[in-house]
Structure formats: structure tokens, C-alpha cells
Structure 1
Amino acid sequence: MPPDLRALVIFADSSLHRSRTSRRVLDAVAGLPGVQVQDLYQLYPDLYIDVRRERELLDAAPLVVFVFQLGWYAMPALLKEWFDTVFKPEWARMQPGGLHGKLALAAVACADLPDDYQAGARHGRPLEDYLMPLEQSVGACGMRWLAPHVFYGAGTASAEATDEHAAALRTLLTGYMTGNDAGAGHGA
């Protein structure tokens, strides 16, 4: 754990070796001072999560960032398992101080475009509806949900657009970690 942990990045991509987006995002945030990246599929290939370690990191970090690609309208399976084992209500709500007041941010890549996430369009609902279980989970723990940082069109994006997305996320995290919420107007 970095001595001055300012952000915990929970990163989940089961096919990182094939992803054009996730690797760039991971590289962009991993080098930030005060950031601890937990690459769930790298750390827990057997799906057995070190709950104690994850909770220690959560306790220490004022900002928690969930980085993943939306697939079949949900977060990746191991990220869901992480929530099921680490965010147990009896732990998350009963901790002295607990998670209350910590910031939570979802950085999500979507293959399709914003217009596809509307009533009557391809996906029939706004993206926020698909992120609701994540938002509800962190809210139930007293965390402050920040507007998601979304990369629409990731499936066909150019390398330049992907790099711009990764750099924007890095800038956003830097802003939150330094107490500058100027990035709050970003995202979806």
C-alpha cells in the first residue's frame, strides 16, 4: 500500500490481453502517486478474493474508482464477486467511520454510442440505469457517488481517442486527489 494512499482503483477486465481500451486506462492511472491499482483478474485468477487486504485498502483510501468495460449490461463477474465478499453490509455499515463520506467513481467503457443508451434506442435505457446496482451499493455504505466517467464508442475508437479518454481519467483522478472537484462535470 502506498504510504499516502489517495485513491484505490478497482480494475476488472477478464480479457485485458485483447482490450484496446483497458490497457491504456490501466497504464494511465497506475503511475499516479498515491494510487493503488487492484487488478482483480490478475490478483485473483482463482476467484478467491483476499477480503481482509481489500478492506484495509478501502479503509485507507478516500477515493475508490471502479474501472471496467460494460458487458451484457453489467459489471464484470469478478467485480460483482468483489462487491459480494468485500462490501458485506455488516462490515461496510458497521465499521467505525466505515466507508461513510468516501468518494466513489465508476470509469466505464461502452462499445456503443450515447444515443444507443436511450429509451427506444438499441439498449432501451440510459447508461445510468445499468450502473444503478453499483451506485446503490456504494450509496448504501454512505459513500458519495460521483458522476461516472464514460468512454462511449470504445469498441471502434481510434488509438488517439482511447488515449484521450485515458488521459482525461488521469486528469480527473488527479483533480479529486488534490481536492479540486473541478472535474465533476465530466462523464455521461
Structure 2
Amino acid sequence: MTDENIIESNVESTKKSKKVLVLFAHPSQNRSEVNVPLFHEAKMNKHVTAVDLYAEYPDFNIDIEREQQRLIDHDVVVFMFPLYWYSTPSILKEWQDLVLEYGFAYGQDGTALKDKLFLCALSAGGKEEAYQTDSYNYYTIRQLLQPLEQMAQVTHMTYIAPFAIFGSRTAREEHRVVEHRGKWTTLLNKLTTNTLNLEKAMRIENLADLCTSQGE
């Protein structure tokens, strides 16, 4: 390979790589069986910026300009959280209310987030079968997350399926933490190398399933 080809190859690789921002929100980390290990996994990826929102803003005094700059600097935005009463922990709602301003994220001239990827990485204490339209919770995870999907639509981001982990309260005793970390690492690698099949990622119910598909 000539020097010119090496340079072209490196440039092409740079074009393909994506910077991922993981906004982690867990108010009770000492009780976490899945989220904290996954957050630590994210911090090990050099193409990922992993932010612990409760650690950075214990008083909820969110630095709007700092957070907006983080969004500008990244290609993929991930909300990572345990599902609390079918929604996010409170600091993520506060973050949305303050950071996603008119004129920045939406409205006239509000195109700072246009074409960035957005997804949720979440854990649910209940089993997957409980999150069905004919079961205990009456709704699927994707249905429960529709307010966040609409947020992505309004802010011109590309919404893809959530990375959802079920049965998180018993992950350790069922020896599934390593499995969950493996799927999460696979997803991060696909996101940062820009090799995720977006067509499938937008229509599938759970990205964790896509990360175990053959040939993906």
C-alpha cells in the first residue's frame, strides 16, 4: 500500500467514526446491578464521552451552555437510565427542559441537533413479557418511550430503537451481567464505527436483539 493509499484509508476511517455522548442518570447507583457496569463500559471506549449527570449536577444546577456544546460535539446522543414509573429519572427531564432550548434544538434556527442519532439505553426491573400490550404493563417499551421519540422528532434527530435490558433486579443472581455488558459493548462499537444497520435499528423493538443477530 502506498503512502497515498494509507492516507486515504485513514481519512475514510475518520469519516466513518462517530462520537457518542452517553448521558447517564441513576439516582441510586449503590443499588444498580446493570446500569453502573454498563456506564463503566462506556467510559472505556475512547470514542465515547460518558457523563454521570447526578454526579456533575447534584444540585440540579445544569450548565446549559456546557451541555449544549457537548451535544454539538457529538454525533450520537444516548440517554442511559433505569426506567422509573415508565419514564426517566428526574434529572433527565430537567436536562431536557433546560438544555433543549428554542432556537438551539428546535424552532426557528434551532437545528443544532439535526441528523444526530438518538437512543435510550435503559433497564427495567420487570421481565420482558410484562412489557407487552396484553400483559401487566399494557405497553411495550417503545410505546412507553414515545415522548422521547417525539422529542427526537421535534429536535430533528434520528430516533432508533432503545437498548433495553429486562429483569435488571435479578441480573446478578441470574448471572446475566456479563451478557448485558457484551451486548452493550457490541452496540457501542457499532455506533462509534458507524456500522450499525440503521434501517433495522429504526424498526426493531429492542437494539439488544440486533446486537446478537447473525451477520450484524
* 2:202 equivalent to 1:187: no
Q: In the alignment, which of 153, 160, 171 is matched to residue 146 of structure 1?
A: 160
**1:80-99 equivalence runs, <5 A:** 80-93=93-106, 94-95=108-109, 97-99=111-113
Aligned CA RMSD, in angstroms, stands at 1.9
State which structure, 1 or 2, has the greater radius of gyration over its C-alpha atoms: 2
* 2:196 equivalent to 1:175: no
Name the aligned partner's letter for residue 169 of structure 1. Answer: W
How far off its partner does 1:87 sit?
1.0
- Which residue of 2 is the match for residue 10 of structure 1? 23
C-alpha offsets along residues 146-166 of structure 1, whole Å, 9 cap, x if unaligned?
Answer: 111110111112363122212
- Which residue of 2 is the match for residue 45 of structure 1? 58
Scaled by the length of structure 2, the TM-score of the pair is 0.80
Q: Secondary structure at the match of 2:145?
A: helix
Bigger drift between 153-162 and 73-82 goes to 153-162
Q: Secondary structure at the match of 2:169?
A: coil
Bigger drift between 156-165 and 124-133 goes to 156-165
**1:16-35 equivalence runs, <5 A:** 16-35=29-48
Bigger drift between 143-152 and 116-125 goes to 116-125
> Gaps (5+ residues) in structure 2?
1-16, 210-216
Q: Secondary structure at the match of 1:91?
A: coil
* 2:187 equivalent to 1:166: no
Q: Secondary structure at the match of 1:38?
A: strand
C-alpha offsets along residues 98-157 of structure 1, whole Å, 9 cap, x if unaligned?
Answer: 101000111110011121012231111111121111111111111001111110111112
How far off its partner does 1:77 sit?
0.3
> Gaps (5+ residues) in structure 1?
none
> How far apart are the structure 2 equivalents of 1:47 and 1:6?
26
**1:67-146 equivalence runs, <5 A:** 67-93=80-106, 94-95=108-109, 97-146=111-160
Q: Secondary structure at the match of 2:168?
A: coil
For the Cα contact (< 8 Å) 2:18–2:194, is it kept in 1? no
Scaled by the length of structure 1, the TM-score of the pair is 0.91
Q: Secondary structure at the match of 2:190?
A: helix
Bigger drift between 173-182 and 101-110 goes to 173-182
* Number of aligned residue pairs: 185
> How far apart are the structure 1 equivalents of 2:119 and 2:40?
18
Name the aligned partner's letter for residue 170 of structure 2. Answer: T
> How far apart are the structure 2 equivalents of 1:176 and 1:120?
33
> How far apart are the structure 2 equivalents of 1:66 and 1:170?
16
